Amino acid sequence: MSKILLKRYLPKNTNSYVLELLVRYPVKFKIVNPRKSKLGDFRASNRSGNCQITINNDLEPLNFLITTIHEIAHLYNWVEYKGKISPHGQEWKNEYIKLFKPLLTTEYLLIEEISILKAHLNNPKASSCSDVTLTDYFRKDGVKRVEELSIGTSFILNGKTYTSEKKLRKRFLCIEQKSSRKYYVSGMAEVEEV
């Protein structure tokens, strides 16, 4: 991975640290076109013996850093445990926090970013999209979460219009207006209110 290429995606001054983490163990690191279902992913060694990390190329620098450290923590746990632990269990959380701690200074990040990351690192989630603190920080203007809408409100998600019908535990029962089919939608899903 080129230091210059990586620098384009990361917060200022963090690229050397991330490169140090990436060269510790053999891994193919790829910056890829955005995927709807994930920001990044780790794949354990394949037949050629190579592990792979992919990160979406449309992430804001801090989100790119968070996702990259998340996946590097998976790599380090794979090397140590070879798949014998839960992917987002306590070992992963400990590794993720350990890898992030050196970055929690103004040498690397803004004071506001450090504050948000400290809250996030109290109990990191399997998906940064499930962390309210982070989703609020990265949310674009005009975007709301389904859980913030009143029951009966219509919204657009992935180009389709839905109406929320009922709140369940973490999901909402919603009706897609064109087909009248019912879907369960995460309360954390970011949508545009109609």
pLDDT tens-digit series, residues 111-135: 999 999 999 999 998 888 788 888 8
User: 3-state DSSP helix/strand/coil percent for the chain, to nearest 5?
Assistant: 40, 25, 40
**What average pLDDT does the chain have?**
92
Instruction: Please state whether beta strands 154-157 and 190-193 pair in parallel, antiparallel, or not at all (unpaired).
Output: antiparallel
Residues 129 and 98: beta-carbon distance below 8 Å: no
Lowest mean pLDDT among 21-30, 95-104, 135-144: 135-144
Give the total residue count for the chain.
Answer: 194
- CA–CA distance, 79 with 45 (Å, rounded to integer): 10
Q: What is the pLDDT of residue 131?
A: 86
- CA–CA distance, 5 with 156 (Å, rounded to integer): 35
Q: What is the DSSP letter of 27?
A: E
Lowest mean pLDDT among 30-39, 65-74, 88-97, 176-185: 30-39
Instruction: Label residue 172 left, alpha or beta by phi (over 0 means left) and psi (-120 to 50 means alpha).
Output: beta
Residues 39 and 129: beta-carbon distance below 8 Å: yes
The SS3 assignment for 67 reads helix
- CA–CA distance, 103 with 1 (Å, rounded to integer): 20
Q: What is the pLDDT of residue 46?
A: 67
Q: What is the pLDDT of residue 37?
A: 84
- CA–CA distance, 29 with 4 (Å, rounded to integer): 14
Lowest mean pLDDT among 73-77, 99-103, 136-140, 190-194: 136-140
Strand partners, 163: 154, 175
Q: What is the pLDDT of residue 2?
A: 57
Res 156 pLDDT > 90? yes
